[in-house]
Structure 1
Amino acid sequence: MNNFSAIATVGMSDVERFVDAEYPAQLGLESPAAWITTDFARRAPLVIEHDVKVDDALYMMKKAHVKAKLVVDAQNRFLGIVSASDLQSHKVLMQATSKSIPRSEITVRDVMTDKAHLHGFAYQELENASIGDVLYTLQELGEQHVLLLDKSMQSLRGMISAADIARALHIPIDITQRAHSFAEVFHVLKSA
């Protein structure tokens, strides 16, 4: 700790106001989409390795109070996304049954949404997009998340989720997810 020094502090007894926020306290559908973006240039993405067991992954997500994480391999290459809902869904038992292994052996990779099924748009599109535009896009796709691609670097630059929008606007958002496989369609029909 010899390389650090204490920062001078000041008393708070005379302070009554807050600095004006960079963004308005009350966001709306017309507000710029950039205001609710998780930009990986400013904040590292929340990631989880593909071989983590689903129960361990769910525990980690609950402890961190997050609803989704990006899935990576051992070399930190992007593979997909997994949500807390995925980790508690019928996918876990379906995978255990189809692989004839105990539920406790199912990994994140088994239940994640592969990047081939995810959608994104260029980060540069945020310059002209509103929160309403993003919400409409999510609803049209039937997805909880949209990824942002930095086209110049061919890298994942950020993400916007329906949960981020709901939290920012203080409104409930229900996006009906679309099935990615016949097995998922079959399960929905069987449950009905």
Structure 2
Amino acid sequence: MQNSKVKILKTEILSDNWYTLNKITYEKINSNGSVQTQSREAYDRGNGATILLYNQDLKTVILTRQFRLPTYINGNSDGMLIETCAGLLDNDNPEECIKRETEEETGYKISKVEKVFESYMSPGSVTEILHFFIAEYSKEMKTTNGGGLEEEGEDIEVLELSFEDALAMIDSGEIKDAKTIMLLQHVRVKKIM
């Protein structure tokens, strides 16, 4: 559904190296009826999915740790970030994507996932919608060591943490990733663990 109060006037590609950075000029009718022309940059990297694996019996969760350049250049001294497993959809539906990413990154082969919500993660500049999932895991589901795909340059450490330790890592600042905080808090608020 298109907004009749917004008209795209021009789209310029500023970069299409890794993903696509567009400069978009548009007209918008404001709430007072005035017409305003603005230009904004929007980064299109596609949509993605993320998942928190949890074990109710052990009261544990599976997280990952990997190097994230943007955090490094913005003050994260070693660039390492603790996160939930995630990936871009790459033309898959969100459920199939997250099952694939879970096995690649964590080594756990899961068959049943529960979608809990969707979110724009940085709507002022990034077009991405992230699909959030949770799923139970057990030791029997571990099929590989995980770690990501070498051909994609991934070097991912798999972490199994107690749920309480993971929550404490938010308070201590060890976990600063928004999607991870959102999923841990979801599990906490819904009293899943």
Q: TM-score band, normalised by the shorter chain?
A: under 0.3
Using structure 1 for the length normalisation, give the TM-score: 0.24
More helix by share: 1
User: Which has a greater percent of strand?
Assistant: 2
> What TM-score comes out, normalization by structure 2 length?
0.24
Which is higher, the Rg of structure 1 or of structure 2? Answer: 1
